[in-house]
Structure 1
């Protein structure tokens, strides 16, 4: 029976619904996908996602155990390595030690010479006029002076040269015959006792006093008795002039024999000779013995004069003394001559920085400052104004500050105690056509500028002195071997502080400057 078209279509749909997905090789479900097998049933069993291959296991690093480490360290290879390292360490250490020793051996180094107490001391010349001004009634002057001894010691003064104990027309052979201006013998003994308590040495001045030693043995024996008496009172030494009869080999040898009875390594007794001539009268013996007989030669920076010396005369005197120093006898410097008030501070700086022991006179700026404290009046509390004072208190404080600064620098800086001395030629840039001479004060018209260097090892102190009344700047080519930079230690105006450069420094009129030099970038 024939089928209609609709019946045929329905039968075809039903047949399609009953057909399996993977019928035949070319059926719907048999189409192989990419990378899949085309066999029957392969599409059903193949995984939908392809798994990635698992990474191979990586061996983790682990430290050796204690047992494994002990086994490995005990091996022959490690023993050799350790042996080589130990040998290398000791060879390096020995090489560094040898290099250090070689550097120290070849490097120039200063040799410290132990200084005696009188080589380190600052002397203070105490004249009877000062005590007479300080006296209010009777013996008050000595008592007031004794009260001021700790003050003098605090300023850095180490020894007193007590002048005027004996009048020139009196002989000290009578130990009780002391000058009336200083009081009786018990008062002088009290002053010596209080000085020793304050840590101040005392030197008695016999200068220009007739000791009557030029004759006979009995007179010499009496003099030795007199020396023993004062040495028993605690006197540290005696001062004579180079014009005295006692300045002779025979007399000083006798004095040395007496000194040995009272001297020790710490308390050595000394002989101070005040130089009054241009050249001291030599003793009738070799210079080697003369060196042992005289401990200190006190020299004046300025020549004696009845008038105030000009700036050029002061500069000439300073230059002469700086260039004619003797190294075999220990010097002590004092001003001596007369100079203007403006130059007193400059001369104080010069004395405190020269090799040797400075001797400050009581009539200098520092002495005038001390007069204010010494002149305290009577027991009723009255005060006496000193006749010669500074214009104002500021000037007095400046003088005292300058003295204290110099004293402390000299006591703490080895270069100012032990250091070598070098006198420097000087040029300035002021008045370029006339002031650039090759040496200091080469002509009368040259600037009154002086300079010297104190050196100890690698430490250098530069001292500049402008004696003249004009302002001067340093020539950059003045001393090319010196370090350019430095730091101010002190100055006469006490107004220079901090670091400075020699190329920009200007010296004011009548100014003295102390500079500690150092290499650029170093502050040691």
Structure 2
């Protein structure tokens, strides 16, 4: 009996547990849920409400009226017009401000230069080169001279100094005939080279008993004759009788008939005194002299010392004359160690450089070295000949680099000039202080700046025989960074910093400066 009651109670409990299936628990699915296995996991948590038929919204484009309402009505059109007008007014205001800044800001003015102000002069005698044949050999070298960057030749020794009165139709002894000179002028013009005839120290006054008027007519006729043959002008000395207002005014009258904008004829005066004698022209609008050739070093029978060279260079750098266009030449004698330094100085100073004849620039001399034993002294060692060839090649490379840099850089052509009194430290001061023998102090570094606009070229010259390093506080207003353009040793390339730069003995360096982060 008890056993039956116990089984009945268990059965009743089991039925009660299964009766909870209507609530959605257990294995019995609730209302709206699937009764399949896993149905409770895949069933949606939110049951969408049933939509009535026909209540689905149909999308269509808005009409013009609806767009105007959505955009804020007709007032929005006025706001948009005002914004567009404000934009253009602001743009025009910025454009006008930029133009005003450009107009008001200082800018470099390009100076129109004459041909002689841009030209590089090369002074020589037609028969000066060893082994040459005078004028005929010079004609062969004209294209070579032009490739070096030379723009004009000053030819000396063409006319006989003994002719009195002056007969410019008579050539000098041993330097060719009149047809050869005429051929040289024609070939020079074809090669793009101007030719200036040197008549310095020639007697232009005529014999003492001759009529002055006849002598003047003879000289004027001779000047006219050579201008007709293509001569670009004449070179005289400041001690000549032709250096006078009367003579130069007569020459100007003849020049005017043969001159044009690109073919203007010139008068070059070689200054032999410390001060050029003044010319008081009665016609204020007439320039009697175009170029004054000045020497950096004074004439001397002996080679000048290093200290004398430095003093003369500094004197010319500090006291420059702006009255007449200068043409610089070396002039006096100096040691061969300073030859390249003086070339760099001439090429970078304001004015037109005049380079004296240099056998290192003679094409025929260079060819004779390359021809070997047929043109070489049998007693000369081969190593010595090779060293000479390297020296000549180095001289030509330095000359070409300087001439081409000068022709394409406005700062070197007509840029402003600023002498820089640099302070330098002698790198060998400690060693020299220990020396028992006293020696003269090494000259300080000489330097100047050529500027045009934002472009600056710094030229450093160490005339002395000791290395020099620049003082870090040498010029705080100038950029410290730059790139090497060239130097006398042709062994400096790429970028540099002036704070760590050290100049070698007898070295000249040309550096193009730029601001940090700029490569103008």
After superposition, give the CA deviation of every residue in 1:226-274 in whole Å (9 maximum; x if it has no partner).
1110000000000000000000111111110000000011100000000
Q: Does 1:208 align with 2:206?
A: no
1:69 and 1:274 map into 2 onto residues whose CA distance is: 93
Q: Per-residue deviation at 1:29?
A: 8.7
- What is the match of residue 104 of structure 1? 102
Q: Equivalent residue for 1:123?
A: 121
Aligned to 1:188: 181
The separation in 1 between residues aligned to 2:174 and 2:147, in whole angstroms, is 26
Map 1:447-486; keep pairs closer than 5 Å. Answer: 447-486=443-482
SS state at 1:421 partner = strand
- Check whether the contact 2:21–2:29 (CA below 8 A) recurs between aligned residues: no
CA RMSD of aligned residues (A): 3.9
Q: TM-score, normalised by structure 1?
A: 0.82
- Decide whether the 8 Å contact of 1:452 with 1:464 is kept in 2: yes
In structure 1, C-alpha distance between the alignment counterparts of 2:187 and 2:57, rounded to whole Å: 90
Any idea what the Cα deviations from partners look like across 1:137-189, whole Å, max 9, x if unmatched? Answer: xxxx3222211100100100000001111132224743431013211100111
> Paired residue for 1:242?
238
Residues 1:428 and 1:132: Cα distance change in structure 2 (over 3 Å): closer
Query: What residue is the counterpart of 2:300 in the other structure?
Result: 305
Looking at structure 1, the residues matched to 416 and 161 of structure 2 have their Cα atoms a distance apart, in angstroms, of 40
Contact 1:390 1:396 in 2 (8 A): no
CA distance in 2, matches of 1:100, 1:482: 28
For the residues of structure 2 that align with 1:311 and 1:81, how far apart are their CA atoms?
81
Matching residue of 1:512: 508
Compared with structure 1, are the counterparts of its residues 77 and 314 closer, same or farther at alpha carbon in structure 2 (3 Å cutoff)?
A: same
Larger Rg computed on CA atoms:
1
Q: Distance in 2 between matches of 1:132 and 1:312?
A: 33
CA distance in 2, matches of 1:56, 1:419: 91
User: Corresponding residue for 2:81?
Assistant: 83
Cα pair distance change 1:63/1:30, threshold 3 Å: closer
**Alpha-carbon offset, residue 383 of structure 1:** 4.9
1:45-99 per-position Cα deviation (integer Å, ceiling 9, x unaligned):
9556797342799x99989569689767895244224313321221222122122
Deviation, 1:324, is: 1.8
SS in 1 for 2:426: coil
Partner of 1:265: 261
Change (3 A) 1:415 1:55: farther
**8 Å contact from structure 1 (residues 311, 448) kept in 2:** no
Distance across 1 between alignment mates of 2:517 and 2:29: 90
Q: Contact conserved, 1:131 with 1:182, CA < 8 A, in 2?
A: no
C-alpha separation in 2, matches of 1:48 and 1:54: 14
Q: Which stretch has the larger CA shift, 387-396 or 419-428?
A: 387-396
Question: How far apart, CA to CA, are the structure 2 residues paired with 1:44 and 1:184?
Answer: 132
Q: Partners in 1 of 2:463 and 2:58 — Cα distance?
A: 84
Q: Hey, what's the Cα distance between the residues in 2 that align with 1:69 and 1:239? A: 93
Assess if the C-alpha contact under 8 Å between 1:128 and 1:181 holds in 2: no
Partner of 1:418: 414
How far apart, in 2, do the equivalents of 1:157 and 1:338 lie? 23
8 Å contact from structure 2 (residues 366, 392) kept in 1 = no
Contact 1:224 1:255 in 2 (8 A): yes
Aligned to 1:157: 150
Q: Deviations over 1:462-491 (max 9, x none)?
A: 000000000110000111111010100000
Rounded Cα–Cα distance in structure 1 between residues aligned with 2:398 and 2:426: 28
Other-structure match for 2:342: 347
Question: Which of 139, 148, 151 in structure 1 is aligned with 2:141?
Answer: 148
Unmatched 5+ stretches in structure 1: 37-42, 136-140, 435-443
Partner of 2:330: 335
The count of aligned residue pairs is 482
Structure 2 gap segments, 5+ residues each: 35-42, 431-439
SS at match of 1:357: coil
Distance 1:464 1:508 in 2: 11
How far apart are the structure 1 equivalents of 2:90 and 2:191? Answer: 56
Distance 1:145 1:208 in 2: 24
Which position in structure 2 is the counterpart of 1:440?
none
Judge conservation of contact 1:133–1:375 (CA < 8 Å) in 2: no
Instruction: Give the aligned partner of residue 39 of structure 2.
Output: none
Q: CA deviation at 1:403?
A: 0.3
**Cα distance in structure 2, aligned partners of 1:278 and 1:413:** 31
Give the superposition deviation at 1:449: 1.7
Q: Give the structure 2 partner of residue 179 of structure 1.
A: 172
Inter-partner Cα distance in structure 2 for 1:163 and 1:240: 11
- The answer as to 2:48 corresponding to 1:54 is yes
Q: 2:236–2:242: 8 Å Cα contact kept in structure 1?
A: yes
Q: Partner of 2:486 in structure 1?
A: 490
Match of 2:351 among 345, 352, 356: 356
Q: For 2:353, what is the secondary structure of its paired residue? A: strand
1:360-375 correspondence to structure 2 within 5 Å: 360-363=355-358, 366-367=360-361, 369-373=362-366
| 2:291 is aligned with 1:296 | yes
Partner residue of 2:437? none
Distance between the aligned counterparts of 2:29 and 2:367, measured in 1? 128
